[in-house]
Amino acid sequence: MFSDADIAALYDVLNPWDTERRADSAHYTAMVMGARSVLDVGCGTGAMLHDARRRGHRGRLVGIDPDRAAMELARRRDDIEWVDGVAADVTAWREEFELATMTSNAFMCLITDDEVRASLSAIHGALEPGGRLAFETRHIQSEQWKEWHPGNAEEIVDGSGRRLRVSHVVESAVGGVVTMTETTGEADGTAERVDRGVLRFFDEPELREFLEEAGFAVEELYGDFAGGPVTPGSRVMVVVARAQTLAHR
Ligand SMILES: C[S@@+](CC[C@H](N)C(=O)[O-])C[C@H]1O[C@@H](n2cnc3c(N)ncnc32)[C@H](O)[C@@H]1O
């Protein structure tokens, strides 16, 4: 059977941090390399911060994530600070970071309104006045959960050369909150492991409202990583928001 460690390692096979081939990786890496101090919220296996150090980033890099198996992989580098926890736990830091990131849709793991508010408020407190939060989140109008069915299963090859199949089944999609299972198994479809997950899709007005309420001014909100507008067909919303000081709110 597949362990938590196997699944964490597979994440990097499925989602490599690749600034040459992926516009999202290039977008965030450019911002990270331009910031003295970076807090990566929902850092997963830490691939973005590992890459930043490899590129010669000399400032403070901190990653936080609640997934212990992913953090085991992140901790392979000990020249980065790693913290076990969720976004709402970020209250331990006060005005310490120039940039906070939530990459690869980590923002969609914030499910309830209370969790979104607590997380954004904590991140705001951790940012220097004028610091920026950069993230992307899938756009509710794209209804991408309709693409998550076994007919769209992905065939991959893991680190040991084994052929695997990863597929999804959506159990429910209510008001943007999507509950689904992810099945990882043999290439012939034999299931080795089933994980259940919940993701929240947002629309633009509610996203802006959450950000403004938490003290952020939205500086960029695009419908793709090329800087295009948000339209009903946009699959993501790519956001850069600046932490306002109280005087500016
Ligand atoms: C899709 S992964 C993205 C990982 C990484 N940012 C990347 O770019 O590959 C989403 C991550 O968010 C983490 N996560 C889940 N709930 C969270 C929360 N409330 N606060 C912060 N991170 C959370 C998960 O453990 C997972 O590692």
Query: Under a CB-based contact definition with an 8 Å cutoff, are residues 172 and 201 in contact?
Result: no
Among residues 185, 200, 215, which one ends one of the domains? 200
Residues 172 and 221 in one domain: no
Same domain, 110 and 221: yes
CB of 181 shorter than 6 A to ligand 1: no
Residues 133 and 152 in one domain: no
Predicted confidence (pLDDT) per residue in 46-93, tens digit: 999 999 999 999 999 999 999 999 999 999 999 999 999 999 999 999
Structure tokens at 219: 């500086």
Q: Which H/E stretch holds residue 177?
A: strand 177-186
Claim to verify: residue 156 and residue 206 sit in the same structural domain:
no
Q: Which atom of ligand 1 is nearest to the CA of 115?
A: 19
Whether residues 132 and 150 share a domain: the answer is no
Q: Are residues 133 and 241 in the same domain?
A: yes
What is the reported pLDDT for 248? 55
Any ligand 1 atom below 6 A from CB of 144? no
Q: With a cut of 70, which residues of the chain have pLDDT below it?
A: 246-249
41 lines ligand 1 (CB under 6 A): yes
User: How high is the pLDDT of residue 115?
Assistant: 98
Say how far apart CA 236 and CA 226 lie, in whole Å.
11
Q: Are residues 156 and 129 in the same domain?
A: no
The confidence score (pLDDT) of residue 188 equals 87
Residue nearest to atom 14 of ligand 1 (CA): 42
pLDDT at 2: 86
For residue 64, give the CATH number of its domain. Answer: 3.40.50.150
Predicted confidence at residue 52, as pLDDT, reads: 98
pLDDT computed for residue 247 by the predictor: 61
Torsion 212-97-59-55 (CA) sign:
negative
Q: Is 109 in the pocket of ligand 1 (CB under 6 A)?
A: yes
Query: Do residues 160 and 98 both lie within one domain?
Result: no
| Domain edge (last residue) among 200, 216, 232 | 200
C-alpha–C-alpha distance, residues 54 and 48, integer Å: 10
Say what the pLDDT of residue 121 is: 98
Residues 107 and 154 in one domain: no
In the reported structure, the alpha carbon of residue 109 is separated from the centroid of ligand 1 by a whole-number distance in angstroms of 7
Cβ proximity of 133 and 125 under 8 Å: no
Residue 174 and residue 131 share a domain: no
Q: Are 88 and 182 in a shared domain?
A: no
Q: Which of 40, 43, 112, 113 to mutate to test the pocket of ligand 1 (most atoms within 8 A of CB)?
A: 43
Give CA–CA dist 238/249, Å, rounded: 23
Q: Which domain range does residue 214 map to?
A: 4-139+202-248
Looking at the structure of the chain, the number of domains it has is 2
126 and 212 share one domain: yes
